[in-house]
A = this chain, B = another copy of it.
Amino acid sequence: MEQSVLLTGAGGRVGTAILDDLAEDYDWRLLDREPLTGEYAETHDSVVADIVDETAVREAIEGVDVVIHLAGDPRPEAPWDSVLRNNIDGTQTVLEAAVDADVEKVVFASSNHAVGAFETDERTPDLYRVHDEFRLDGTELPRPGNLYGVSKAAGETLGRYYHDEYGLSVCCVRIGNLTKDHPPVDYERGQAMWLSYRDCAHLFDRAIEADYGYEIVYGISDNDRKYYSLERAREVLGYEPRDNSAAHE
């Protein structure tokens, strides 16, 4: 039987990349703060709710096997009050409801901004170039480059807690720079952490299917310029990226 998956923030860019490739593969329930438009709204079960509305979130989560939690304020420059509420409190609401509803897995959209402050003046721009061997692998302590990144790191720690305390499987994906069709042009940082739409869908597909306890993985294509390791994503999830920003330079 198809697994049922709640997708929060379904109307955003990551949600779109996932649905473009996986719409037919799961029994989706789509949640967004705004009514969804387009084909997926017509063909799938959908819910309009704010992610901090505990009652609505609990109702939406009831009966699903997996939650992909993307909802939140996606702006790197978002102010504290917004990320505190939407990203930190919102993620706690989802995790708590997931445990209470006996969900198996939560896949959490974390961000490269959780570790953005590793990109110091001393390291850049070399960090974004092929010869540079510096790598982050997800075992390092977060160094957020903004308050949005702080909120994503907090979401990861919440995931760790809900895994340790309740046995929930949690995979945090530190999403890079997701763009359609081709990598950012004239932007080395974006090329280093490019995530193509199809690699994005494939990565979340693997996160739905694979067995794990608690994981932090980097969500990027196999870019020559990368400074994020893909080892955990490959080993634990079976991620096999097909794209590389170098092919577009």
The interface-forming segment of A13-21, A128-136, A144-152 is: A144-152
**What is the distance, in angstroms, from A60's C-beta to the closest C-beta of chain B?**
19
The interface-forming segment of A157-165, A186-194, A204-212 is: A157-165
Separation of A160 and B144 alpha carbons in the complex (Å): 8
Separation of A85 and B142 alpha carbons in the complex (Å): 22
Interface size on A, residues (CB 8 A): 26
Inter-chain contact B160/A142, CB cutoff 8 Å: yes
Q: Which residues of B contact A88 (CB under 8 A)?
A: 84, 88, 154
Question: Oligomeric state, in number of copies?
Answer: 2
Interface members, chain A 78-97 (any B CB < 8 Å) = 80, 84, 88-89, 92, 96
Q: Which residues of B contact A164 (CB under 8 A)?
A: 117, 143-145
Separation of A144 and B153 alpha carbons in the complex (Å): 13
Separation of A143 and B214 alpha carbons in the complex (Å): 11
Q: Which residues of B contact A165 (CB under 8 A)?
A: 117, 145-146
Q: Please list 29 pairs of residues, one from A and one from B, whose beta carbons are closer than 8 Å in the complex, sorted by A's number.
A: A80-B92, A80-B96, A84-B89, A84-B92, A92-B147, A117-B161, A117-B164, A139-B141, A141-B141, A141-B160, A141-B216, A142-B157, A142-B160, A143-B160, A143-B161, A144-B157, A144-B164, A145-B161, A145-B164, A145-B165, A146-B165, A147-B161, A150-B154, A150-B157, A150-B158, A150-B161, A153-B157, A154-B154, A154-B157
Residues of A near any B CB (own CB < 8 A) = 80, 84, 88-89, 92, 96, 117, 139, 141-147, 149-150, 153-154, 157-158, 160-161, 164-165, 216
